[in-house]
Amino acid sequence: MSKPDMEKLEAGVSTLLEAYRRLKEQNESLAGQVEGLKRESESLLKEKEFVKEKLERLAELESETRKDQADREKIREKVVQLLEKLDRFDLT
């Protein structure tokens, strides 16, 4: 093989090795980013589940509050009725 052909071949191999090195570095960087995104996704899924549980609990509390409010209104009505009966009741 002639000297110019060898030099061309060496230059080509050198270029390929450099391109391989850059691609390998880029691949490692992207793999790191993927791992970071996976961790972030897991964290967001946990947060989503936490928020879902809290929303369910909030809905339960709101339902209980409405029920309690209805019960308080019934009790008020009964107290008013009892007070009216007491007012009408004459001990003398």
The predicted-structure confidence for 21-74, as pLDDT tens digits, reads as follows 999 999 999 999 999 999 999 999 999 999 999 999 999 999 999 999 999 999
pLDDT band at 92 (very low <50, low <70, confident <90, very high): low
Report yes or no on whether pTM surpasses 0.75. Answer: no
**74: its two tokens:** 């019934």
φ, ψ of residue 17 to 5 degrees: the values are: -65, -40
DSSP 82: H
CA distances for 56 relative to 5, 46, 53, 63, angstroms: 74, 15, 5, 11
